[in-house]
Amino acid sequence: MRPGAVVGFLCIVIGGLVAAVTGPTGLEHGSWAAAYLVLVAGVAQLGLFAGQAWLAARPPTRRTVGWELAAWNAGNVAVLAGTFAGAVPPVVAGGVALVVALVLFLRGVRAPRPGWTAWLAAYRLLAGVIAVSIPVGLVLSAVRHG
């Protein structure tokens, strides 16, 4: 959980900093980027990594955690970069990377600890909400920039 927690907390802090400078600098997409950094790159990442660490009967391998971390954060970077550039293809690539990461996270909790089924349902709900929001974000990006 540690790598996801560190990066997640950093994203929350960076999101706060982006929010602080958005108004004075007139940063286009600044408030959206701040919210995205805090909620998706930060809080969701913390929830996915923490949930997997607590729920999985067997902890994921370092290799799996590395792939999850890489896919989740590469996806977030691509979504942010594509949005600021006004380019849809990087946003789509980022969305695909986020879906790959979600599949890896869900695979990691296939076999939960005994007695944790309610928490597993909450974890799957979190992943489901994120999974539904990805195509919504892709459509909004295409409408705005396409």
The range of the structural domain enclosing residue 139 comes to: 2-145
Predicted pLDDT at 30 = 83
**CB neighbourhood size of 32 (10 A):** 15
Nearest to 109 by CA among 97, 98, 96, 124: 124
Q: Is the pLDDT of residue 102 over 70?
A: yes
Q: What is the pLDDT of residue 116?
A: 87
The pLDDT of residue 24: 82
| CA-closest candidate to residue 92, choices 79, 80, 81 | 79
- Is the model's pLDDT at 106 over the cut of 80? yes
pTM: 0.91
Structural domain count, the chain: 1
Q: What is the pLDDT of residues 19-70, one digit of tens each?
A: 999 888 877 888 889 999 999 999 999 999 999 999 999 989 999 999 999 9
- CA 119, chain centre distance (Å): 19
